[in-house]
Structure 1
Amino acid sequence: MNKLLKSAAALALALGLTAPAMAQDTIALVVSTLNNPFFVSMKEGAQQKAEELGYKLIVLDSQNDPSKELSNIEDLTIRQVKAILLNPTDSDAASNAARMVNRAGIPLLTLDRGVTRGKVVSHIASDNVAGGKLAGDFIAGKLGKGVKVIQLEGVAGTSASRDRGEGFALAVAAHGFEMQASQPADFDRTKGLNVTENLLASKPDVQAIFAQNDEMALGALRAVRGAGKEVLIVGFDGTDEGIEAVKRGLLSATVAQQPKLIGELGVETAVKVLKGETVPEFQPVPLQIITQ
């Protein structure tokens, strides 16, 4: 046996592998979509932290499809990864994926969006309710009470969309806003553009738009400029492009999350779990409102 171990060590040395590399454990990250800068940043944060801590990270893209997500999870349980970080496509639909991970005995952590059912070791996300209210408070600070507003909602069924809407509703009530419309645009820029164009035609006197992410906010911006209107637009996420639009005076504000930090904390927490350490059930990641 000693000869075999020595031979393996010699082979590793010859291949330029270190002992940690030979013994690398694998963690997986299942992302709702990589067709969104926010989740790309999350992935990058997770990859950097995994590399720093000496773990291999598998990243799978669910392409905003719950069935693809379930297939990804099934694949990972078969491959017996040590821990799974899940950013759900839909909090309700992802419950089946969560229960599959639970049955496999693999620690499950959720990032940015939670799951409705299933055992989760830790949930790492911004306080989306507080963020939605922050956006509404900003609008009130700029335009006062009784403002006529439109809300662009994210993907129905996601905890992020639900919580941001809940927070914004608190601001609507507190400041006496007139909610002229609240419609889904699925966190998508093109849909944000199309939905806003339609709403501007039927609600021409709207004063402010709250988009539940920067992608929809940027789509709404195109629609507003195309219609030749002056409408205050607030986004959410604090993506690079969103922040740049704020600096240029195109968007009024964005509620900035820290997706890279969410990814980093996800991997860091998973490693603690694998080492037998106790971790918080919920880890809030600070957010702030970015203005010009």
Structure 2
Amino acid sequence: MKQSRALIPALACAAILVAGTACSSSVDNNATAVEASVADVVIDDGGCAKNHDQIADIQKKLAGNLYGIAAANSDKGTNTNPEPKRADDPIKITFSIEGLSHPFLVKQKQLAEETARDLGVEINVISANDDVNQQFNDIQTAVAQGTDALMMMPANTEGLNAVLSQASTAGVPYFFTQKGMLGVKPASQVLAPYATEGRQLGEWVVEHYAGQQDIKVAVVSGIPGDASSDARVGAFMLPLLRACTFDIVAEQPGNYRRADSEKAAQNMLAANPDVDLVFGANDEAALGAVAALQSSGRTGVDVVGADGETDMFTAIDSGQTLATVIHKPTAGILVEEIVKYLRGEEVPQFKVLDEDLVTKDDTATTQPAF
């Protein structure tokens, strides 16, 4: 894989959108560069001394987070295939997706298949059924059987390096959609703006509660250890902590699933009877919190989430939730990038889509993400 234009010297300050890092001249998509960026973080506590340590911890984590780095470097560096296919050569893409148990994942599959059909290329979508080990095995099988490109949306990237090394050895270029990873050399990553989604929603919450004090917040996070959840939750928390008027009293993972999130919310609400706001790391988490509130008979608790799914629009219209952020699916865009790459055109190393916040004023004029 030829790197036709280097990333700007922003990797070391890549999370500046959410973490306030100081810039460094080190430019490399690997762990060493990320460690350098974390060491260079300039802490911005917004003047809230009581939350300084918690803010510092979140900023350092965000400075090394893929999604902050991707947002800062979107469309600023490219890769080109050194051995492009001819215009009339057939193309076969293998899309390994974590599962199809969530409506967004189903949408990703549909968009990938529709775009492949429109472009006249073959795509084989393989669901790992929410099993990380199965996904790794699926990828190894695809490489062994032969494919022109490997497209992935992994549930978890821990341990994926070894599998990707096999793809590189076999000469199979690989790409990430929605979720990706650092420390490897994909041809392109078209990723979701998890960090900027969280920040935008957090800033809106601070504005919404302006003038109020001691607002107690419970957080239903996503998958423990997952970079997307860490980015969205951490970036959401920062504006609240800097405002110095919010108290994050509890956090439990809901694994991005409604049933798990309902249980997590039930636990936190039972232990914290004075919660004012529940933040769900995605809309399924937020809707799980709504179900928990309904089953407990609790009223007067606000709920916000992120993804922009249809059920969340309904909940906003009915007053059960306040706001969400449209989470745009990327699979169709990445299929286009894969075909371009295989044909010899430049593709972006990172591409991150813009986000749109939705409240009750916007549901009539905004299309749900899925």
Q: Smaller-chain TM-score range?
A: 0.7 to 0.9
Partner of 2:72: none
Q: How does 1:95-106 map to 2 (within 5 A)?
A: 95-106=161-172
> Residues of 2 paired with 1:24 and 1:239: CA distance?
36
Measured in 2, the distance between the counterparts of 1:148 and 1:184 equals 18
From 288, 301, 307, the counterpart of 1:237: 307
Shift of 1:187: 0.7
Q: 2:159 is matched with which residue?
A: 93
- Matched residue SS, 1:132: helix
Q: Does 1:287 align with 2:340?
A: no
SS of residue in 1 equivalent to 2:273? coil
What's 1:269 paired with? 337
1:129 correspondence with 2:195: yes
Calculate the aligned-residue CA RMSD, in Å: 1.7
Matched, 1:151 2:219: yes
Query: In structure 1, what is the Cα distance between the partners aligned to 2:286 and 2:307?
Result: 10
Secondary structure at 1:236 match in 2: coil
Whole-Å Cα distance in 2 between the matches of residues 42 and 155 of structure 1? 19
Alignment TM-score, normalising by the size of structure 2:
0.69
Structure 1 partner of 2:256? 187
**Which is further off, 116-125 or 92-101?**
92-101
Aligned length: 269
Which structure carries more helix by proportion? 1
After superposition, give the CA deviation of every residue in 1:23-70 in whole Å (9 maximum; x if it has no partner): 642111111121001111111111111000001111111122211111
Contact 2:308 2:327 in 1 (8 A): yes
Cα gap change, 1:101/1:246 in structure 2, threshold over 3 Å: closer, same or farther?
farther
User: Is 1:248 equivalent to 2:318 in the alignment?
Assistant: yes
Partner of 1:166, secondary structure, is helix
Q: 4+ residue runs of structure 1 moved beyond 4 angstroms?
A: none
- Structure 2 counterpart of 1:215: 284
Give distance in 2, aligned partners of 1:244 and 1:48. 27
Taking structure 1 as the reference length, the TM-score comes to: 0.87
Which one of 185, 208, 227 corresponds to residue 142 of structure 1? 208
Q: Is the 8 A contact 2:178 2:331 kept in 1?
A: no
Find the aligned partners of 1:199 and 1:220 in 2 and give their Cα distance: 10
1:168 aligns with 2:236: yes
Query: How far is the alpha carbon of 1:197 from its aligned partner?
Result: 0.4
Report the alpha carbon displacement of residue 166 of structure 1 after superposing the two structures with TM: 2.3
Aligned with 1:257 (options 327, 330, 341): 327
How far 1:263 moved relative to its partner? 1.1
Which deviations, in whole Å up to 9, do the C-alpha atoms of 1:142-182 show, x marking residues without a partner? 22354211111111232211211221132222222211112
Against the structure 1 CA distance between its residues 245 and 102, is the aligned structure 2 distance closer, same or farther, given a 3 Å change threshold?
farther
Percent identity (aligned): 28
Shift of 1:268: 0.5
